[in-house]
Amino acid sequence: NAGVTQTPKFQVLKTGQSMTLQCAQDMNHNSMYWYRQDPGMGLRLIYYSASEGTTDKGEVPNGYNVSRLNKREFSLRLESAAPSQTSVYFCASSANYRGQSGYTFGSGTRLTVV
Amino acid sequence: AQTVTQSQPEMSVQEAETVTLSCTYDTSESDYYLFWYKQPPSRQMILVIRQEAYKQQNATENRFSVNFQKAAKSFSLKISDSQLGDAAMYFCARIGVDSNYQLIWGAGTKLIIKP
């Protein structure tokens, strides 16, 4: 079982470049999430999708956009990367928006913006 | 304010011994869920254990167990017979209606296992 698959695993961008982080889950989960994790800190929610067709801002949405392409896929786009967006990005999914069973996480994308 | 506090930035334990990681939280709700996640150096976030607040019985998963004190808003993780593979960052998290069903995370505790 793949669970949550994120691509790429590593990426280096120049300031101002754009890129899309891809995420797919094969657990038939309804809800999906994008987090960032900075050194020495916990996870901060960027955007989430409670169900297919909906997206909402989290704690730190500025500089990002998302697309819930279908039930399986939830992408995160950086339109004009900035050094402050250097971080590790995690995609996660849960069975439903209440998240009572916990989240399943992807293995993360380490993004460096120079 | 909705907060999850892990007061121990780092803990160390001898292999095969028992260690307890602390977590406290703040909420006025009675129905919520609590989680411990493990993040090894591979950086994969792994769910270790979950607790439903309306259940008084403490959750257990093999060598991992919790001490859930609802009145004290405390949710500690006990790891018995510590193994080298337990070395990781451990994050405590809570979810509930007051967080709009978003996970609220603690800052993490780094667990070091001494061989």
Q: Is A19 on the interface with B (CB under 8 A)?
A: no
Q: Which residues of B touch A45 (CB under 8 A)?
A: 102-103
Q: Do B47 and A104 touch (CB under 8 A)?
A: yes
Q: Which residues of A touch B103 (CB under 8 A)?
A: 43, 45, 99, 103
Classified as helix, coil or strand, B85 is helix
pLDDT score of A61: 97
Residues 6+ apart with CB under 8 A from B19: B11, B13, B78, B79, B82, B111
pLDDT score of B100: 83
Residue A57: both structure tokens together: 């801002």
pLDDT band, very low/low/confident/very high, at A1 (cuts 50, 70, 90): low
What letters, b where the CB count within 10 A reaches 16 and e where it falls short, cover B76-89?
bbbbeebeeebbbb
CA neighbours closer than 13 Å in the CB half-sphere of residue B22? 10
Percent of chain B with pLDDT over 90: 86
Which of A38, A54, A55, A103 would best serve as a mutation to test chain B binding (most B beta carbons within 10 A)? A103
Q: What is the pLDDT of residues B46-68, one digit of tens each?
A: 999 999 999 989 999 999 999 99
Find the chain B residues whose C-beta atoms sit closer than 8 A to any C-beta of A: 33, 35, 42-47, 50, 52, 91, 95, 101-103, 105-108
pLDDT band, very low/low/confident/very high, at B93 (cuts 50, 70, 90): very high
- A88 pLDDT higher than 90: yes
pLDDT score of B8: 96
Across the range B68-87, mean pLDDT stands at 97
pLDDT score of A100: 86
pLDDT score of B1: 62
Residue B97: both structure tokens together: 């209606």
| Cα B44 off chain centre by | 16
Percent of chain A with pLDDT over 70: 99
3-state helix, strand, coil in chain A (%, to 5): 5, 50, 45
- Partner residue facing A42 (CB), from B42, B46, B91: B91
Most confident range, picked from A60-64, A95-99, B26-30: A60-64
Q: What is the pLDDT of residues A36-77, one digit of tens each?
A: 999 877 899 999 999 999 999 999 999 999 999 999 999 999
